[in-house]
Every structure is written in structure tokens, then in C-alpha cells.
Amino acid sequence: MSNLFDSYRRQFLGGLGMTAAAVTLAPGVILREVQAKPDDEAVTNKVRWGMLIDTNKLTDGGDGMVAACKKEHGWGNDPNASPAQQSQWVRKVTFKDKLTKHETSLPVMCQHCETAPCVDVCPTGASFKRADGIVLVDKHICIGCRYCMMACPYKARSFVHEHLENQQPHSPRGIGTVESCTLCVHRIDMGEQPACIEAAPPKAAVFGDLNDPDSTISKAMKKYGGQQIRADLGLNTGVRYWGI
């Protein structure tokens, strides 16, 4: 798996005009973006997972990332739901500059806010934030009130209206509950990258530990910044963008 991460790191750094050697801490020290957490080890706040998406290099506007998420989690084609009732964990959004007419498209999913409005309004604690920054829904105690859907400024949550078929075993869903991007927590805990990151065009997206100053994502954000959608809300999102 480390070869994969190295490959992504090279691709991404190449796009930044940097080289893999530029992120070497010292001879013999290997940077690892994601490391599998042993099952008996608790999630800690030593790491904060995040992703950085370069819209300038997103040649398909995010279509591939959306498709990968659908396939990984099995949403969007629920046979018992009407078109309006289909879940949408990540969607492609297009902005148009009124002056230049320039259009920018980007994928918008749960932004994994440090101060998450969905968590604040949830009456049962079903919406919660893991110590490592991943915002999730505990489907066992979600009562389907949908307060969190109203509170989310990114419209990133969906409600499951109908019975589901052919679910992905690693991503259980349930009628009457709310769902959203899990940051592919099932993959992260295995030391893998989110499905959408793997599907992004070369050099367009990177995933890693925002708390680690030596991670590729932290170095890239330190050098070039990382814009937040609706930064004015002060939510300190874990998902960041370039080119918006």
C-alpha cells in the first residue's frame, strides 16, 4: 500500500512543482500518509484526517470522485426510492463567475467540520465526531428527525426513505436514518485512502493527516493554503480546496 501512497504523493507533488525528495524529513525517514490502526487501539485526536482538492486539476469536475463514492457505498440507485428520494453523499457543484463567465466544478461532500453544526443539533447523539475529526452518524440511535440535514450548510446529508437492497457490507445503511460521507472510515482504519481520492484525476486530490506538519497535505496547505467553502462560518472544515 505504501507504494500507492508514494505514487500519489509523487503525482501530487509533481503538480505542485515539488518532488518527493522535498518531503523527506531526513535520510531513512519515510513519510506515511495513512497507517492502519490496530483493532485494539482507540481512535485518538493525535491525527485529524482531511483532504485537499485542486479544482484546477479536476479535469472531470469531480464526476469520477462522485462515481467512485457511489460504487463504494452503494447509494444513488436505490430501487425502491423515487429519483427525488435517492441519497447523495457527494455531488458535483458548478460555480460561474459573473464577470468572467468562467465555470468551476467541484465535488461537495460532508466537509468534516471541526465545529460541526449537525453534531450540535442532534438530539440523540447519533451525529458525532470521532477524535480524529471524522463526522459520522450512528444509525443505531438516529431517530430520523433530520435536524442535522437542516443544520448542514453544505447540504451534504441524505435521508433513507425506502427499504434498501444489495447493500455493501462495509457500509451499512438503513431506512429511516440519515447518512453522509464517512470519509471512507472503513478504508482509513485499514490504512487505505478514501475511494474518491483514489479515483480523482492525477494530481487533483490528496488525503492525509492535518495534524502532522510533515504530511503531504499539511505541507501543501502551508505552502499554498487550503480554501474552505463558506469559510465565513468558521467551521474549520477537514475538506479543503484550491481554485475556488
Does position 68 interact with ligand SF4 (CB under 6 A)? The reply is: yes
The residues, ordered by sequence, that sit 6+ positions from 53 with a Cβ below 8 Å of its Cβ are 62, 106, 107, 200, 204, 205, 239, 240, 241, 242
- Choose one: 80-88, 92-100, 188-196, 215-223; the region binding ligand SF4 (CB under 6 A): 188-196
Which residues on neighbouring strands pair with residue 92, listed in sequence order?
107
* CB 184, min distance to ligand SF4, A: 3
Per CB under 6 A, contacts with ligand SF4 among 189-208 are 194-196
d(CA 90, CA 57): 18
* CB 225, min distance to ligand SF4, A: 22
Per CB under 6 A, contacts with ligand SF4 among 86-145 are 89-90, 109
Residues 237, 229 contacting (CB under 8 angstroms): yes
Binding characters for ligand SF4, 19-58, by CB under 6 A (x = yes): ----------------------------------------
Which residues on neighbouring strands pair with residue 52, listed in sequence order?
206, 240
* Options 184, 200, 221, 229; binder of ligand SF4; rule CB under 6 A: 184
Does position 183 interact with ligand SF4 (CB under 6 A)? The reply is: yes
Does position 239 interact with ligand SF4 (CB under 6 A)? The reply is: no
* Options 72, 132, 179, 209; binder of ligand SF4; rule CB under 6 A: 72
> How would you class 225 by CB atoms within 10 Å of its CB: exposed for 0-12, middle for 13-18, buried for 19 or more?
exposed
- Provide the sign of the torsion angle of the four alpha carbons 205, 210, 212, 214, taken in this order: positive
Binding site for ligand SF4 (CB under 6 A): 68-69, 72-73, 89-90, 109, 181-184, 194-196
